[in-house]
Chains A and B, each alone.
Chain A
Amino acid sequence: MEKDLVIIGGGPAGMAAAVAARERGLKDILIIERDDRLGGILRQCIHNGFGLHRFKEELTGPEYGERYETMVKDMDIDYMVNTMVIDLSEDKVVTAVNKEKGFFNIRAKSVVLAMGCREKNRGALAIPGERPAGVYSAGTAQKIVNIKGYLAGKEVVILGSGDIGLIMARRMTLEGAKVKAVLEIMEDSGGLTRNIVQCLNDFDIPLKLRHTVKEIHGRERVTGVTTVQVDENFKPVPNTEEYISCDTLMLSVGLIPENELSKKAGIEMNPKTRGPVISDYKETSVRGIFACGNVVKVHELVDFVSQEGEIAGRGAADFVMGNQPSEIKVKGSQNEQKKGVKNLGGIICTICPNGCKIQVAGDGTISGNLCKRGVEYALQEMKEPLRTLTSVVNTEDGLMVPVKTDKPISLKSMKKAMEELNSLTLVLPIRLGDIIIKDIGETGANLVATASLGD
């Protein structure tokens, strides 16, 4: 088989690359994805907070993914799912395997690497102790809960306060688990301030900075962990050990770009990011092989992943068609969102990525907001915080449908809303946007599906 462009990985980076390459005029494109559907890690990130830059509205992960999936389908771009690329050579021969074709080779004129990243695990941390069931990397737990629909733990300690850890703290709490603590070895959390507010503070989950797990207990299932405080050099502080009984330890301790294939192709790597060295056009050290998204470096926001994907896709198209590479226009600002606990104090507006820190003085004057919407937000937050609820709903054949409320609801109505959606069993097919429950929990909001499932 021959192809002008083979894109390895059908996450947001890969899909954006495909769309951009097609828009530039390239016909013969193939996306190869090992999972059973396009979308990448977004499929299990059922929470909202995606797309504020790219689509100027707040989407859940599956919604963001499906927008691109729809573009790929509408543009008639070829893709294969349930197909794993297992080898890539310097002269761009892609070897893949699936059930229908077995092992097969594709000669590609250009390649875009969009394989995403993987999580660091317990072994990399060398946490001593037993090796029972119940030690999960947070993303694995997220897959078990959100995709498979099973409860990964009842009493949970989370190590690492990056965004995945924070998101899972809320997720497990909503599903009825008790999250006993989130431990962070650094002096501040690496997670977005918004996530600290909405995932921990909303649910009174303690965040313990400068703490780590010293030992894991339990021969069969986790029975507890010993935690310890650390000093500036990350050395344990004597006599600060504390035993927390729990059945689950979730690790959210960092991601590593997934570059096995890049290495096989002899691509030069950046030891710091652990991704390929790339040019402005996202081309790697091997001519005609481009890379984008989390395979290059770990991105916090999917919007920038898509943007990088577009540049890589255009680069690949230009390479194949012999065009002069086009000028790179970066849309929007790549403003860092505010991170960590240190930004707390005042109200962090979460309406747009600016993340204004709003102060409400005793006399009711409001300052710190860049726009009007901040005023409303701050007043509401003072009175009663409103949040979009996201979860999953069961179906007859066991697949889980991701859902959200179509507008924010009050925190205290969440429990009732969860009870209502928990008792439901849907029949497929379901379309994105379908109303699942009208006026859920008498909140005035509807529960809507955030992905299409079934034919």
Chain B
Amino acid sequence: MYKIAVIGGGVIGGMVARQLTKYEKSVLILEKEGDVAMGQSKANSGIVHGGYDPKPNSLKAILNVKGSKMMENLCKDLKVKYRKNGTMVVGFTEEDVTQLKVLKERGDLNGVEGLEIISGEEARLKEPNLDETVSCALYVPSGAIVCPYELTIHSIGNAMDNGAELKLNFQVDKIENKGKYFLITSSKGDVVEAEYIVNAAGIHSDEIAHLIGDRSFNITGRRGEYFLLDKETGDLVDMTIFRVPTKMGKGVLATKTVDGNILLGPTSEDIEDKENKETSAQGLGLVREREREFFKNIPWDKVITQFTGVRAHGDQGDFIINSPMERFVNAAGIESPGLSSAPAIAEMVVEMLMDMGVNSEARADFDPIKKGGTNFKDLSMEEKNALIQEDDTYGRVICRCEEVTEGEIRRALRENPPARDVDGIKRRTRSGMGRCQGGFCMPNVAEIIADELGISYDEVTKMGGNSKYTFGRIKG
């Protein structure tokens, strides 16, 4: 019997679990996929929004502003890449200036600091490649970028370092309220018991709520498609650039990522099948077309990959954070700015649980610092060589594009939460995330995984399930 089961290994489930372990060891994270950070928390823009956008006094407004202020220190503790690169919302017409003023007013009300409306020239001083038709901008100095999957993985890792447990490939299919506890059954028939449940199941959080008879909200999947450009193109833009929202919606953004790539997108399109993560010719075409408003000379020949994220769009106009039943909390419909709000959402959810009886006395042995996790690249040459002396696998480069060593890959297979497949290695080490997209390193990464896990080469998968790379030995 666990004290609390958190359903969903996304950034919300991860942050909630970590926040809980400050007080309570008996925390279980249930995730349906073969790894954590497989949902929205993997494929998004990675922007820590200032908080000028949401309607004042909404949960989105309050939690975004609070969460983004917590983010920098949290990222230090969790060893997550974060950078305050600043955001600009740019406009092209007189009408857009009016819109920017509305945004600024809203931001001021929400408590966002340092907002400023600037001219097109001033904007180009900050971002020289911005198109000359840009005539005005809202400058948001508190805007930042973060690595979203690293944040998710490291928060879950830190929760586990502090006693939490993780069950992968556990798709919650049934929840029975036994009065003092819940009986939770997976699609494969595995069973766990927990006194409390947090529903952080992203696009499926409505289905989890339905399992206990809560039909008060629905979630639709809303797909967003992106292009990722080679680091070589890093000079294109350093800040995060949005367009003034129009009736057509928020439009696309252009941003540097914490790793130095350029990210362009996303589109916004409602889809029926929530698990549909396909990119489409139309969607990608739309991104190309819209990005031209910002920059004339986007080096499209330097695209290294495209991907899709599916937003969990709730029908309540705000985050859905409530308790439909004793000992059960929804953290549902957490769409943008959910990443930015995550630390604050976690605090709120844990306070609600405490009100329902979860221990509120801080544990003395809680360690907020993520174990291991130090970025090899950030070490000095001497430190690197000292490490290689101890463990020579750090002297063997496996990924040529991102210069990832065998040592880092082995570590990702050992540290919490351990990687189990090639994509898991990619999200934890960046091996395969560079310009050749794994063409060079994948055959060797698979070999290291097989060795660490004691499985055969042909059992190694890209992302769990049936995603095997090979079909057995060709001989013998």
Q: Which residues of A contact B447 (CB under 8 A)?
A: 148
| Residue B475 interfacial (CB < 8 Å) | yes
Min CB distance, B11 to chain A, in Å? 21
Q: Which B residues, 349 to 407, have Cβ-Cβ distances below 8 Å to chain A? A: 381, 384-385, 388-389, 392-393, 395-397, 400, 403
The answer on a CB contact under 8 Å between B439 and A121 is yes
| Residue B192 interfacial (CB < 8 Å) | no
Question: Which of B304, B305, B443, B462 lies in contact with A143, CB distance below 8 A?
Answer: B443
Question: Which of A129, A132, A144, A154 lies in contact with B443, CB distance below 8 A?
Answer: A144
Segment from A56-64, A133-141, A325-333 that makes contact with B = A133-141
Most chain A CB inside 10 Å of its own CB: which residue of B228, B393, B436: B436
Question: Which of B227, B389, B463, B472 lies in contact with A150, CB distance below 8 A?
Answer: B472
| Residue A417 interfacial (CB < 8 Å) | no
Distance in angstroms between the alpha carbons of A423 and B473 in the assembled complex: 12
Min CB distance, B464 to chain A, in Å? 8
Q: Which B residues, 94 to 121, have Cβ-Cβ distances below 8 Å to chain A? A: none
The answer on a CB contact under 8 Å between A148 and B465 is no
The answer on a CB contact under 8 Å between B474 and A98 is no
| Residue B442 interfacial (CB < 8 Å) | yes
Most chain A CB inside 10 Å of its own CB: which residue of B227, B283, B306: B306
The answer on a CB contact under 8 Å between B385 and A99 is no
| Residue B470 interfacial (CB < 8 Å) | yes
| Residue A370 interfacial (CB < 8 Å) | no
Q: Mark A411-441, 1 if CB is under 8 A from B, else 0.
A: 0000000000111110000000000000000
Distance in angstroms between the alpha carbons of A103 and B385 in the assembled complex: 6
Q: Which residues of B contact A273 (CB under 8 A)?
A: none
Question: Which of B280, B440, B462, B472 lies in contact with A133, CB distance below 8 A?
Answer: B462
The answer on a CB contact under 8 Å between A392 and B474 is yes
Q: Which residues of A contact B457 (CB under 8 A)?
A: 148, 150
The answer on a CB contact under 8 Å between A132 and B462 is yes
Distance in angstroms between the alpha carbons of A393 and B473 in the assembled complex: 11
Distance in angstroms between the alpha carbons of A176 and B304 in the assembled complex: 32
Question: Which of B227, B385, B397, B472 lies in contact with A84, CB distance below 8 A?
Answer: B397
Question: Known: A86-B403, A425-B476. Contact between A144 and B469, CB under 8 A?
Answer: yes
Distance in angstroms between the alpha carbons of A143 and B467 in the assembled complex: 19
| Residue B323 interfacial (CB < 8 Å) | no
A-B contact count (CB 8 A): 148
The answer on a CB contact under 8 Å between A128 and B281 is yes
| Residue A11 interfacial (CB < 8 Å) | no
Min CB distance, A311 to chain B, in Å? 27
The answer on a CB contact under 8 Å between B475 and A394 is yes
| Residue A131 interfacial (CB < 8 Å) | yes
Q: Which A residues, 137 to 191, have Cβ-Cβ distances below 8 Å to chain B? A: 137, 139-140, 143-145, 147-154, 175-176
Question: Known: A102-B389, A151-B472, A394-B473. Contact between A121 and B400, CB under 8 A?
Answer: no
Nearest A-chain residue to B281, judged by Cβ: A128
Q: Which residues of A contact B381 (CB under 8 A)?
A: 103
The answer on a CB contact under 8 Å between A152 and B396 is no
The answer on a CB contact under 8 Å between B397 and A86 is yes
Nearest B-chain residue to A176, judged by Cβ: B474
Q: Which residues of B contact A130 (CB under 8 A)?
A: 277-278
Distance in angstroms between the alpha carbons of A152 and B472 in the assembled complex: 8
Nearest B-chain residue to A396, judged by Cβ: B476
Q: Which B residues, 206 to 250, have Cβ-Cβ distances below 8 Å to chain A? A: 227-228
Distance in angstroms between the alpha carbons of A137 and B307 in the assembled complex: 18
Q: Which B residues, 281 to 315, have Cβ-Cβ distances below 8 Å to chain A? A: 281, 283-284, 301, 303-307
| Residue B169 interfacial (CB < 8 Å) | no
Min CB distance, B398 to chain A, in Å? 10
Min CB distance, A428 to chain B, in Å? 15
| Residue B458 interfacial (CB < 8 Å) | yes
| Residue A53 interfacial (CB < 8 Å) | no
| Residue A100 interfacial (CB < 8 Å) | yes
The answer on a CB contact under 8 Å between A128 and B392 is no
The answer on a CB contact under 8 Å between B395 and A100 is yes
A-B contact pairs, 22 of them (CB 8 A): A99-B395, A102-B388, A103-B385, A103-B388, A121-B436, A124-B303, A128-B280, A133-B467, A136-B439, A140-B440, A143-B443, A145-B474, A147-B443, A149-B475, A150-B472, A151-B472, A153-B471, A176-B474, A247-B471, A392-B475, A422-B475, A424-B475
- Knowing that A84-B397, A99-B395, A149-B473 touch, tell me 17 more A-B residue pairs with CB under 8 angstroms: A82-B396, A102-B384, A124-B304, A136-B439, A140-B443, A143-B443, A144-B469, A150-B470, A176-B474, A219-B277, A220-B464, A220-B465, A221-B467, A221-B468, A392-B474, A394-B476, A425-B476
The interface of chain B, by Cβ under 8 A from chain A, is 227-228, 275, 277-281, 283-284, 301, 303-307, 381, 384-385, 388-389, 392-393, 395-397, 400, 403, 436-437, 439-440, 442-443, 447, 457-458, 461-476
